[in-house]
Structure 1
């Protein structure tokens, strides 16, 4: 717990620095391929520091994250053996790799939407989506929908409620992601039903 607390303190300090937006872009992009920390950890303090920019920061986060997802997709498609599998092994995600294959068999690229909203490593889904040749447009739409929902819910809460959200998110971050996941799944089910 002490490590997590120190890490959060460093992220709060980084969020106030001059290069914070560039750092948010870099973290959002690389987290989609190989970096271990989610961009939410920077988005939250940056949005709290400038509430009027919260939605703009979420859009930056989304754009960089989806761009990273596209990079991960093509790494998986063309370089899975050389670059993708070493990343999977580095994070000890071999079992999850096979589970994601089953998700794709059952749900196509919409499995990416689940990963985009939950603590399931998004990088695993971007790499495997390319490796398993999931339809690129569906992959892209699922990524935009899930990552957008995740980042804009966080930014929207901060925009509306400010500092009170900081303490709630620090203590209940997993709960926020779970609620977002449930809402996302209900949204996808509604879209499927309407079609």
Structure 2
């Protein structure tokens, strides 16, 4: 099923309405969808590098709006909507563990690590922020910075290095950013341990 979703999303990049589909995918990725917007963003930015910044803006705005929808689901409709979504993706137990000790700082950290390496998935972070009643304005500001940094960094890499960077992004950037995200998490845990 995941492979079919991936292939379907990739096929959207060749359509005339690709920008609209990018916005739709970025929006739903931040609240309920499994496949990241990068799958659509990368081939679009490679096919038209002169539009990479525009695509980054579309993806950022749609992703933040989707994040607000995820926050709303977590805040107002956790049992009715969020719980079944998390159960479907097998993330409910992880979510409940995170929810018990979440702070605003952790939400920001998760937004950054999710933006870098999809760890944890962005939909989990947005729903978690709402369920933990994180201030919506602080959440929006953090989401703009974290999601914007991801898409604008990808746009910059693709404009600067073109097709040659695509293989690296698709196969190795995830590993490198996962290591970076892991270092951030360990640093945060170490800081909390030392200050308590």
- The match for 1:193 is none
Structure 1 residues 183 and 155, CA gap change in structure 2 (3 angstroms): farther
Structure 1 residues 184 and 27, CA gap change in structure 2 (3 angstroms): farther
CA contact (8 A) 1:108 1:134 kept: no
Give the CA deviation at 1:8: 6.0
**Where does the alignment leave 5 or more consecutive residues of structure 1 unmatched?**
189-195
Structure 1 residues 106 and 28, CA gap change in structure 2 (3 angstroms): closer
CA contact (8 A) 2:6 2:35 kept: no
Question: 1:60 and 1:75 mapped to 2: Cα distance?
Answer: 22
CA contact (8 A) 1:32 1:68 kept: yes
What TM-score, normalized to structure 2?
Answer: 0.82
Question: 1:62 and 1:47 mapped to 2: Cα distance?
Answer: 14
Question: 2:81 and 2:162 mapped to 1: Cα distance?
Answer: 41
Structure 1 residues 176 and 50, CA gap change in structure 2 (3 angstroms): farther
Question: 2:130 and 2:26 mapped to 1: Cα distance?
Answer: 19
CA contact (8 A) 2:5 2:35 kept: no
What TM-score, normalized to structure 1?
Answer: 0.82
- The match for 2:48 is 50
Give the CA deviation at 1:115: 2.6
- The match for 2:191 is none
Q: CA RMSD in A?
A: 2.7
Bigger mean CA offset, 52-61 vs 4-13: 4-13
Give the CA deviation at 1:146: 1.1
- The match for 2:144 is 144
Structure 1 residues 105 and 6, CA gap change in structure 2 (3 angstroms): closer
- The match for 1:94 is 92
CA contact (8 A) 2:72 2:127 kept: yes
CA contact (8 A) 1:109 1:138 kept: no
Deviation string, structure 1 residues 47-78 (Cα, Å, up to 9, x no partner):
00000111110110000000000011111111
Structure 1 residues 93 and 9, CA gap change in structure 2 (3 angstroms): closer
CA contact (8 A) 1:116 1:143 kept: no
CA contact (8 A) 1:103 1:111 kept: no
- The match for 1:192 is none
Bigger mean CA offset, 3-12 vs 55-64: 3-12
**Where does the alignment leave 5 or more consecutive residues of structure 2 unmatched?**
189-196
Give the CA deviation at 1:117: 2.8
Question: 2:125 and 2:84 mapped to 1: Cα distance?
Answer: 15
